[in-house]
Amino acid sequence: QVQLVESGGGVVQPGRSLRLSCAASGFTFRSFVIHWVRQTPGKGLEWVTVMSSDGRYIHYADSVKGRFTISRDNSKSTLYLQMNSLRAEDTAVYYCVREVNYDSGSGSYYDYWGQGTLVTVTS
Amino acid sequence: SSELTQDPVVSVALGQTVRITCQGDTLRTFSVNWYQQKPGQAPIFVIYDKNKRPSGIPDRFSGSSSRNTASLTITGAQAEDEADYYCHSRDSSGAKHLFGGGTKLTVL
């Protein structure tokens, strides 16, 4: 079965760095676009970043652009999120999610989510 | 900037019908998906591409969209439908994704 397992979260001081990993299994990882989505405790979902299946296109939310870097190793079926210059407002549960296209090909949705890893930025 | 707006809180009596809405200019161009999230769990998709229901989701869940407003309707709400619901679409560029602020549904 499809599984996405995030790791690497923890408590970190403002200005420091952290790298999250998302280990995928149960599907052909290299064929899928994968995203990071975060959720501040008790609040809503925020899209963070996306990387295409071949790594050729990447987009970031304005709130993390220039500080976060997404990457993937298809040989290891793993997605990464390098987070630098962390701020208190980056405190959240970070989910990796798999994107699939509509049958019509005109859009997409998230069909599988990991359980998330908590990042807490505090002094 | 692009954004999707949802009512923060909605309530419905057990067995009644409730509509949860999502408004945004980008919905005129891009389709919408809906996710349900229960406490301590990751979201699951309940409607995709405006009105398509995945297998395993009860047929009391339906979706629609017109102009700049998308709706998730639960016909005959059950206690287990109490959850947070999020709409999801794209920003005006189509490259970035957006979520609505979420609607907390209470079943009375």
From A59's Cα to the closest Cα of chain B, the distance in A is 7
- Local confidence band at A106 (pLDDT 50, 70, 90 cut-offs): confident
Decide if pLDDT at A103 tops 90: no
Do A45 and B31 make contact, defined as CB atoms within 8 angstroms? no
* pLDDT of chain B, 108 residues: tens digit per residue: 579 999 999 999 999 999 999 999 999 999 999 999 999 999 999 999 999 999 999 999 999 999 999 999 999 999 999 999 999 999 999 999 999 999 999 999
Chain A interface, mutation test: which of B46, B48, B97, most A Cβ atoms within 10 Å? B97
Query: For A22-42, what is the HEC assignment?
Result: EEEECCCHHHCEEEEEEECCC
Query: For chain A, what is the HEC assignment?
Result: CCEEEEECCEEECCCCCEEEEEEEECCCHHHCEEEEEEECCCCCEEEEEEECCCCCCEEECCCCCCCEEEEEECCCCEEEEEECCCCHHHCEEEEEEEEEECCCCCCEEEEEECCCEEEEECC
For residue A47, the chain B residues in CB contact (below 8 A) are 96-99
Picking from A35, A59, A107, the nearest residue to B49 by CB comes out as A107
Residue of B nearest to A62 (CA): B96
Average pLDDT across chain A, whole number: 96
From B35's Cα to the closest Cα of chain A, the distance in A is 9
pLDDT in tens, A26-72: 999 999 999 999 999 888 999 999 999 999 999 999 999 999 999 99
pLDDT of residue B87: 98
